[in-house]
Amino acid sequence: MTADGAQATAAGPAEIPALPPRPLRARPPVARFAQVFSVLLWLFGIGMVGFAATSMGPDLWADWQVRDNAQAVRGGNLIKGRCSSKLILHWCDTTLSAPNPNGGPRLRRETSFAFGSFSLGNFEAMVVADPRRPELLTTDLALDHFWDRVLTFLLLIGGLGALFIFALVKQFQGRREMALWRTSPCTPAPLRLQSVAKARGSATWTVAGSNSAVAQWTVPGRSKPFQLGDGTILGLRRMEDGAVMPLDAGLRWVALSDAERTAALASVSNPAGAAA
């Protein structure tokens, strides 16, 4: 087999193993690393949604309450203020303080907000507050871009949520497809191995059947196809709709008894799959 796994070194077609004449059932391969990576992506996506909601939502709600009556606070200080920009998205963190109108320690509040703007930065900000809610310190910069912040928040949460739902649907479809393979009757079929794309711990095989059905399968990285020669491999075709699935060199991806598997491998001259 060449480096991309698409050609066999044996000259001429190999023998097809003597599989049982009954309808066969598939045991679809599982690439554990790919599954773990998928779960990690899910967790990352959930974390991003949670981070956006908890870091932006409370400050938006607080500024919504004071935005109509906010005014400059005498003695208010911007202890710390920093804005970072990525293209048109600006994310600002501030630490504000002001005298307590009821006496006691100075009021102090930390805020974070993000908004979209074509400005190049160099923002200026002043501490403001609603006299009726002096503890909800904010800045005129945050209030001036309030609706930009709302739009940014909705786009961010909506986009991340849509990606999460899309991934959830794809995962559900994948599980349903695997369950269908395990229960549907299949017949042996020669398939054309069009390409092999390797990743860490897994590989993606693209195969095509004689009925023009094309499928991509993510398999464990060290798997080898059951070669039939001339770039053709052994696979299964689902009887009900013609979907195709490759088989590995050891015939572990098809439901056979130990005796049936041993007999099938012994029935061909090269049970290892024609090439290493």
Q: What is the pLDDT of residues 146-200, one digit of tens each?
A: 999 999 888 888 888 888 788 778 778 888 888 999 999 999 999 999 999 988 8
Taking CA atoms, 116 is separated from 57, 62, 113, 122, 159, in Å, by 16, 20, 11, 14, 15
- Residue 223 tokens read as 């798997």
Q: For the chain, how many structural domains are there in total?
A: 2
Q: Are 63 and 94 in contact (CB under 8 A)?
A: no
Q: Which helix (H) or strand (E) holds 248?
A: none
Residue 34 falls within a domain, yes or no?
A: no
In terms of Cα–Cα distance, which of 220, 188, 227, 191 is closest to 204? 220
Does a structural domain hold residue 167? no
Q: Could you tell me the sign of the dihedral formed by the alpha carbons of 197, 203, 37, 173, in that order?
A: positive
Same domain, 260 and 215: yes
Q: Are 113 and 140 in contact (CB under 8 A)?
A: no
The answer to the question of residue 171 being in a domain is no
Q: pLDDT digit string (tens) for 136-159?
A: 999 999 999 999 999 988 888 888
- Taking the C-alpha atoms of residue 193 and residue 227, their distance in angstroms, rounded to an integer, is 9
Segment 87-128, tens digit of pLDDT? 888 889 999 999 998 888 999 999 989 888 777 667 888 999
Q: What residues make up the domain containing 105?
A: 43-161
Does residue 33 fall inside a structural domain?
no
- Helix, strand, or coil here: 84? strand
Q: d(Cα 193, Cα 205) in Å, to the nearest integer?
A: 7
Q: How distant is the alpha carbon of residue 113 from its chain centre?
A: 27
